[in-house]
Amino acid sequence: MTSGIEKLPRARVNFLPTPLTELRRLAHVLEGPRILMKRDDLTGLALGGNKTRKLEFLLGDALSQNCDTVITGGAIQSNHCRQTAAAAAAVGLKCHLALGGESPSFPEGNLLLDLLFGAIIHWCGEQRKGERIPEIAEQLRSQGRRPYVIPYGGSNAIGAMGFVDAISEVKGQLSAQNISVDCLIFPSSSGGTHAGITVGADLYDLSMRVIGIAIDRTEPGEPSYESELATLANQIAEKLGIEARYDAGSFQVRYDYFGGGYAVVGELEREAILLVGKYEGVLLDPVYTARAMGGLIDMIRNKEFSSRDTVLFWHTGGIPALFEHARELVPR
């Protein structure tokens, strides 16, 4: 199937396709469905992660507009910011990051990597979702720079194209092995991954339940996260010139696994990291993939899947944050 996606500019800042693997030992221990894993922790740039798919399109756009700087923002341990800093370095753009919190006495995890990639950090206190990006972009313009603004999480219609494209990639891998998937599970936060996957599944005709595990929202607010996802999905569809249209009901988000809050590592996350580590030799990150995998494990234990089902878990990366949370993770 062709769509407008082939015409969009890209910067190849990743190594695709990522592997599609099977978690046989974990499935055996859980006595549940067949579990596949899409290894986007292996996207190849700067310890991997889902954001390099978005950055392929975002930086392609930045370069096509002749920008010389990128600016984005997020939490102090933002994986998105770390991957943006690395991708910018790889294509020769300056990178400014608006990070929540204050400068720590010693940089750890993703923040250490941001600095190694030469990013310029703007400390933003309570504002951890890139609220100060427009103001910093304005300052850069007044200094004669040509900044390209990447929103929080890289979640606009351009960034989300990376996940439309990812569905074409995984569909090829599934078809080659003659596998059909009943349900796809992944962490959902700023929405680009979720919206891109949903449009991609329609565009490339990959029929399955798509369930995002909410990472930093407790319940639908006003406007609901699902409405935000629908707005983004409609923007993607319009940009691609396809007819599909979405509303809040097009999205399934599970809010049951929020635990102690964003980036608070609880028993759900600890158990998921230890089980997947012990039985598969695969690392999950403490904030996103451990929460989503903890949700999947809980759903399996609650018999939401049968042993005949195939579940695809999308590993979205985030590994450097493990080291920031080392104290909570040491096996007891």
Catalytic residues: 78
Least distance CB 116 / ligand PLP (angstroms): 18
Minimum CB distance to ligand PLP smaller for 153 or for 294:
153
Q: What CA–CA distance (Å, rounded) separates 16 from 42?
A: 9
x-or-dash pattern for ligand PLP, window 282-311, by CB under 6 A? ---x--xx----------------------
Q: What angle do CA 252, 253, 257 make, to 5 degrees?
A: 145
Q: Segment 102-131, which members bind ligand PLP (CB under 6 A)?
A: none
27 C-beta neighbours (distance < 10 Å), count: 20
Least distance CB 39 / ligand PLP (angstroms): 13
Task: Tell me the chain's radius of gyration from C-alpha atoms.
Answer: 19
Least distance CB 176 / ligand PLP (angstroms): 26
Q: Segment 171-210, which members bind ligand PLP (CB under 6 A)?
A: 187-194
Minimum CB distance to ligand PLP smaller for 70 or for 140:
70
208 C-beta neighbours (distance < 10 Å), count: 16
Minimum CB distance to ligand PLP smaller for 140 or for 202:
202
Which residue in 60, 109, 294, 317 binds ligand PLP (CB under 6 A)?
317
Minimum CB distance to ligand PLP smaller for 18 or for 193:
193
Q: Would you count residue 156 as binding ligand PLP (CB under 6 A)?
A: no
Which residue in 73, 151, 200, 318 binds ligand PLP (CB under 6 A)?
318
Q: Quick one: which of 81, 297, 327, 309 has its CA closest to 179? A: 309
Which residue in 52, 234, 250, 316 binds ligand PLP (CB under 6 A)?
316
Least distance CB 196 / ligand PLP (angstroms): 8
Q: What CA–CA distance (Å, rounded) separates 310 from 296?
A: 12
Minimum CB distance to ligand PLP smaller for 140 or for 316:
316
Least distance CB 158 / ligand PLP (angstroms): 13
Minimum CB distance to ligand PLP smaller for 54 or for 140:
54
Minimum CB distance to ligand PLP smaller for 187 or for 295:
187
Inter-residue contact 266 to 289 (CB < 8 Å) = no
Q: What CA–CA distance (Å, rounded) separates 129 from 138?
A: 18
Inter-residue contact 312 to 183 (CB < 8 Å) = yes
> What kind and span of H or E run contains 187?
strand 183-188
194, β-bridge pairs: none
Strands 147-149 and 120-123: unpaired
Q: Would you count residue 77 as binding ligand PLP (CB under 6 A)?
A: no
Please work out the total of residues on this chain that contact ligand PLP, with binding judged by CB under 6 A: 20
Q: Quick one: which of 197, 245, 249, 198 has its CA closest to 220? A: 249
Q: How is residue 53 written in tokens?
A: 């798919």
x-or-dash pattern for ligand PLP, window 20-49, by CB under 6 A? -----------------------------x
Q: How is residue 326 written in tokens?
A: 């080392």
**What DSSP assignment string belongs to 12-70?**
--S--SPPEEE-HHHHHHHT-SEEEEEEGGGSSSTT--THHHHHHHHHHHHHHTT--EE
Least distance CB 27 / ligand PLP (angstroms): 22
Least distance CB 178 / ligand PLP (angstroms): 29
Residues forming contacts to ligand PLP in the complex (CB under 6 A) are 49-50, 79-80, 153, 155, 187-194, 285, 288-289, 316-318
